[in-house]
Structure 1
Amino acid sequence: MKIGILGTGMVGETIASALLDKNHDVMIGSRTATNEKVAELVKKNSKHASQGTFNDAAAYGDIVFICLNGEHALDVIRSLDEFNTANKIFVDITNPLDFTHGMPPRLINGLSNNNSLGEEIQRLLPNAYVIKALNTVNHKLMVDARQVNNGDHNLFVCGNNADIKNKMMHFFVDNFHWRPERLIDLGGIEMARCTEAYVPFWVAIWQATGSPMFNLKVVQ
């Protein structure tokens, strides 16, 4: 499958590497098509990896992972050509975090309570399918759920199209080792308000415990 990655930080590199290990064809997009950091990863995986601009990666992928800093994500999404985004699946892993007041971070004004970054991205991509997922766990856990409690913990997913959510939940099971019975469909993309709002609490737990390798498990 062709996968586009928007972003070259830890999350983007981790997602790209995991999918390359599964023999997917991956294009990593950044502001320039000659990003040196990306070039090293492409060199190691020349058969299945390539690089380009954000627009190039959006055009390339059947599925596009948004692995951007939440502060700049909307600017990047606005820069994409509509033709390159129509009918594509965009997996939004971003969080609208404001670190200017220290740790744990706050949420960016205007992207919390009655709005979210996930919703704004869907508004900017009206002809695409935006799925919010993977934004509540450490980047290493995103791609291998087995690293905590042998995978016995929950992944939360939301988006407006039930069929697309189901497709992506199967994708996470097949590629990232999430247990199907531990995937929770929260509903429409507006539920991104909830998962994004959890992340400052997640950071506080990390600070208190000294490790980012944890997750929530819903028990009843």
Structure 2
Amino acid sequence: MKITILGTGGGARAHTAKLVELGHEVFVGTRDPEATLARTAPDIMGNAPYKEWLADRPAVTLMPFGAAAAAADELVINGIDGHNAVAALSAIGDSLAGKTLIDYAVPYIYQHESEHPWPTPWGVMPKLDPCDTDSLGERIQRALPGTRVVKSFVTQEQTTVVDPKAIGAGDHTMFVAGDHDDAKLQACELLRSYGWTDILDLGPLVCARGMEMYAHMHSAIGFGLNQGFGGHFGIKVVR
């Protein structure tokens, strides 16, 4: 299958590498491919320059966002940062029409002013916007009415999403939410190909609010486990 990943960060790289391993033809979208390939310093998260990472994966095609989205058969994964996702996706709405978009972005605002800041090992915890009464997943769906948006992957580090057996032999839970049953089935099929056996459908896309707000709890658990940024652990819903 031809599958597109939008973004070149660490999470997007994890999905890209796994999809290639599974035999898919993978297209990666970025705002400006020339600028992406020209970078020589690690990104803000410490990932190696994309050109170096891509050199070991000649089967991957790097393209502008719109062209990459258009190249997908049906499935696109959104790895664009949450603060910029709606604007970037809206600009390529025609290329995403009729396709399933799995969104794992967290709507974080970094370097914000807070009356009661939450200190973390890397500074102050970013804030969620939107939160409570809306979600990034819902905003993307409203901006792209012709696209089937599914919220998933967001409750776990992406390196674990593509390799669930790295934790607890894979015995933990992944969640999906969306307003289109056929799109959720596509997301579940992809998750099963990654190795997930416990997938919980939370229902409509409004449940993306809970998944996105869990991001803070994910960080808090990581702190409690002394894992710093990110977290090598899973969540299990015990029925």
Structure-1-length-normalised TM-score: 0.91
Q: Which residue of the partner structure matches residue 195 of structure 1?
A: 211
Q: How does 1:1-220 map to 2 (within 5 A)?
A: 1-34=1-34, 35-36=36-37, 37-46=49-58, 48-61=59-72, 62-80=74-92, 82-100=93-111, 101=117, 102-108=123-129, 111-174=130-193, 176-179=194-197, 182-211=198-227, 212-220=231-239
Question: Partner of 1:165: helix, strand, or coil?
Answer: helix
Gaps of 5+ in 1: none
Q: Report the alpha carbon displacement of residue 4 of structure 1 after superposing the two structures with TM.
A: 0.9
Query: Secondary structure in 2 aligned to 1:13?
Result: helix
SS for the counterpart of 2:238 is coil
Query: Matched residues in 1 for 2:51 and 2:95: separation?
Result: 23
Structure 2 SS opposite 1:135: coil
Q: Is the 8 A contact 1:28 1:38 kept in 2?
A: no
SS at 2:66's partner residue?
helix
**Shift of the alpha carbon at 1:98?**
2.5
CA 1:206–1:103 in structure 2 vs 1: closer, same or farther (change >3 Å)?
A: farther
Give how far 1:208 is off.
Answer: 1.9
Q: Which runs of 5+ in 2 are unaligned?
A: 38-48, 112-116, 118-122
Deviation at 1:216, TM superposition (A): 1.2
Structure 1 segments (4+ residues) deviating >6 Å: none
* Distance in 2 of aligned mates of 1:38 and 1:127: 31
* One-letter identity of the residue aligned with 1:210: N
Where 2:90 maps in the other structure, the secondary structure is helix
1: CA distance, partners of 2:234 / 2:13: 21
**Matches of 2:187 and 2:14, distance apart in 1:** 18
Q: What displacement does 1:167 show?
A: 2.3
> Does the CA contact (< 8 Å) of 1:57 and 1:64 recur in 2?
no
Q: Distance in 2 between matches of 1:72 and 1:85?
A: 17
Q: Name the count of aligned residue pairs.
A: 213
* Cα RMSD after superposing both structures: 1.5
2:83 match: secondary structure: coil
TM-score by length of 2: 0.84
Query: Displacement, 1:38?
Result: 4.1
Change (3 A) 1:183 1:19: same
